[in-house]
Amino acid sequence: MRQRITSGSTVWMAGVQDALSALLVEQSDFDGMFTTGFGIAASLLGQPDVELYTLTENLGVVNRIANIVSKPIFADADTGYGNVINVGRTVREFEKAGVAAISLEDQLSPKRCPAAATTMPIISAKDMAAKIRAAVDARHDPDFLIVARTDCLDSSEALDRAALYAESGADLIQPISRTFKNYEELVKLKEVSGRRLSLQLMQGLWMSKLSREQIESVAAFATYPIVTLMSTVHALQGNLNALAARRSGDVDGLPNGQASMSEFKALIGWQAIEDMQAHYEA
């Protein structure tokens, strides 16, 4: 992954919130996957992304994903789950899980997802810089990437923070759509920080309107963080409503198509399990 961000090519990723969505991304043409805290909160707890889940719960999901995929994993580490000491442990735990990169954000814990929250209190730039230094010092593998996200809504201050975070050792800078308004400001962010960016591309936000050329000119990471989550919700709502209205034994012709049993078995590696069992029981 570090070679990719230094060579100039962009790593395109899709968000995942559980092992099944990770398998789907693994079998797609994406370069890697992002374990979205927004999606994990919804999938694991059925609740909003306000840091209700713990480091241990987040790692549990990430470990299950890492056990079944080979593509690089970029993990959402939220605020680092505490102070500089906690951040050090957070880095070591994610590194042991086998992920290639984590993102740390400068919100006050418990954080609130900027895509949904009205307000997002942030810590001082000095305190966040200390967290980044602690994260860099805690990693054992120098290729493990630290992505620093600033949720500061003032663009001028966000530029200053990005420069400080880069100086503190962050490998990439991640902006939010609410702070910067156009491509030219992203170019400036890249220039001021001296780091390539990590962009989150979501429906309804202006960054999703950028061209591929624009994205690849500034971003090392380009991620669709919640597309698997929102697609799943939309498909299930449509099919459940249709079945509830129908109330018969007919499960064909639903608004959203279904995978066949053979397709699903291929996805989850059913035949490989049967072959393994037959091998040892022969």
Alpha helices (H) along the chain: 2-7, 19-26, 37-40, 55-66, 84-97, 125-138, 155-167, 183-193, 212-218, 227-246, 261-267, 270-281
Beta-bridged to residue 172, according to DSSP, are 147
Name the residue with tokens 């099919």: 239
Catalytic residues: 113
User: How far, CA to CA in Å, does 149 sit from each of 4, 153, 173, 199?
Assistant: 20, 12, 6, 10
Task: Determine the straight-line distance between the first and last CA of the chain, rounded to whole angstroms.
Answer: 42
Bond into 110 cis (ω within 30): yes
DSSP code for 206: G
d(CA 229, CA 277): 33
